[in-house]
Structure 1
Amino acid sequence: MTGAAQWKQLREQLAPAGTVLLTVECQQGVVGRDGALPELAAAARSSGALRNVARLVAAAHEADVQVLHAVAERRPDGRGANRNARLFRAAARLPVQQYSGSTAVRIAAPIEVADEDLVVRRLHGLSPMAGTDVDPLLRNLGCRTLVVTGVSANVAIPNAVFDAVNLGYTVVVPADAIAGVPADYTPAMIRHTLALVSTIATTEEVLRCWRSPGRVTPG
């Protein structure tokens, strides 16, 4: 992002009082070192995306920006879980399951969860927003801009972005705080899809806005 006009727009979008930071499926069973999806976990770590999510969460805590963690899980008996796509059927056969109450559904290091953070857990679907408490919580919080981070750029992230836009929120995506597989798919998704409906920024740009919300300048 370059230019004074773009910086002014980003600063206004990220005003702490109307902004919520959403982390998507940043849980041990997904992005952890012993998770169910080692290729995705490796991409999230090697690209720096997971570390950048942690940096954004820490900065949000400092700037009084609300943080909301969206976690995907399932009951051991599978009740209520989807079975209507190959992805769901494959996930049910993985050696690590995202069972409710297990370590797999805890937020993964190095992300730190504060007492004021909200955690929304879903038992179904592909999106952290559709059919969950996320939208009413955002509205009650006075959210106007949703910062979307986490995994995966293949499925959950675009679902979250499109759902948020359809519900009337402005979306900011820190491009280096999301990950998918293969690695070269993520920048393609950002450039050809997410950039059409959201503001694409970097982690550092978002951090700069929250560190000095009244004095953001290019560079």
Structure 2
Amino acid sequence: MPSYEQLSELLDPASTVLLTVECQQGVVGPDSALPELARAARSSGALANVARLVAAAHESGIQVIHAVAERRPDGRGASRNARLFRAAERLPVQQLTGTTAVRVAPPIEVAEADFVVRRLHGLSPLQGTDVDALLRNLGCRTLIVTGVSANVAIPNAVFDAVNRGYTAVVPTDAIAGVPSDYTPAMIRNTLALVATLATTDEVLGCLKRPRRAGRG
């Protein structure tokens, strides 16, 4: 884990963005298409920690981007080149555009200044979406990655962020995956090699410091 000084330097509000990944009702809500993942996100405290981080980002003036995965009702443009996509088409709850399933789930609050970026294909919140362009236009250098799942979308987001020149910070208790013992193993053996790891409380300690001048 980095020292407070090192983490604080990385989390400069003028160049930091907080990304929530697939924290939507149809994924982590009570009527999730993936109930095991939803239980893991809630019982581990990960979803509550994402909400705490989002609230602190709002208070400190750090930009928040919510990355949501969805499908058109007719399925046009959706990816079908992996087992995961084909299985998702058969789930009883569909992440359809305009439905409750693709709304950001409580207790996370979406502020007017937040961006909600929706993707219709692929596995990554960054690849092929507006997120990268928004980050560059916002002057982002450090991306805080939170949400689900530790199995697929979170490592995708971290790898894509690093490949694009951003420093990825992962609050390890603000991500979740299945089974329960997979997430810490993935963090230890994979994310630790490419991202700066911290706890939610450590990140909050940096975000709640005196606010600096915002972006232009």
What TM-score comes out, normalization by structure 2 length? 0.96
Distance 1:136 1:9 in 2: 27
Structure 1 residues 142-169: Cα deviation after superposition (integer angstroms, max 9, x where no partner)? 0000000000000000000000000000
CA deviation map 1:79-98 (0-9, x unaligned) = 00011110000000000000
Give the structure-1-normalised TM-score: 0.95
Q: Select which of 17, 20, 33 maps to 1:20.
A: 17
Deviating beyond 6 angstroms after TM superposition, the runs of 4 or more aligned structure 1 residues are: none
Gaps of 5+ in 2: 212-216
In structure 2, what is the Cα distance between the partners aligned to 1:54 and 1:7?
A: 22
Q: Distance in 2 between matches of 1:140 and 1:10?
A: 23
Q: 1:129 aligns with which of 126, 139, 144?
A: 126
1: CA distance, partners of 2:95 / 2:209: 38
Q: Structure 1 residue 139 and structure 2 residue 140: aligned?
A: no
Report deviation, 1:7: 1.8
Q: Assess if the C-alpha contact under 8 Å between 1:11 and 1:213 holds in 2.
A: no
Give the percent of matched residue pairs that are identical in Structure 1 and Structure 2. 80
Measured on the aligned residues, the alpha-carbon RMSD in Å equals: 0.9
Secondary structure of the structure 1 residue equivalent to 2:168: strand
Offset from partner CA, 1:109-150 (integer Å, 9 cap, x none): 000000000010000000000000000000000000000000
For 1:206 and 1:189, how far apart are their aligned partners in 2?
Answer: 20
Q: Which residue of 2 aligns with 1:77?
A: 74
Counterpart code for 1:193? T
**Counterpart position of 2:111:** 114
1:37-76 superposed Cα distances (whole Å, 9 cap, x missing partner): 0000000000000000000000000000000000000001
- Using the alignment, how far apart are the partners of 2:148 and 2:72 within structure 1? 21
TM-fit CA distance, 1:213:
5.4
Deviation at 1:210, TM superposition (A): 1.0
Give ranges in structure 1 of 5+ residues lacking alignment.
Answer: 215-219
Amino acid at match of 1:132: T
SS at match of 2:32: coil
1:47 and 2:59 are equivalent in the alignment? no
- Aligned mates of 2:36, 2:4 — CA distance in 1: 35
Amino acid at match of 1:8: E
For these two proteins, the number of residue pairs brought into alignment is 211
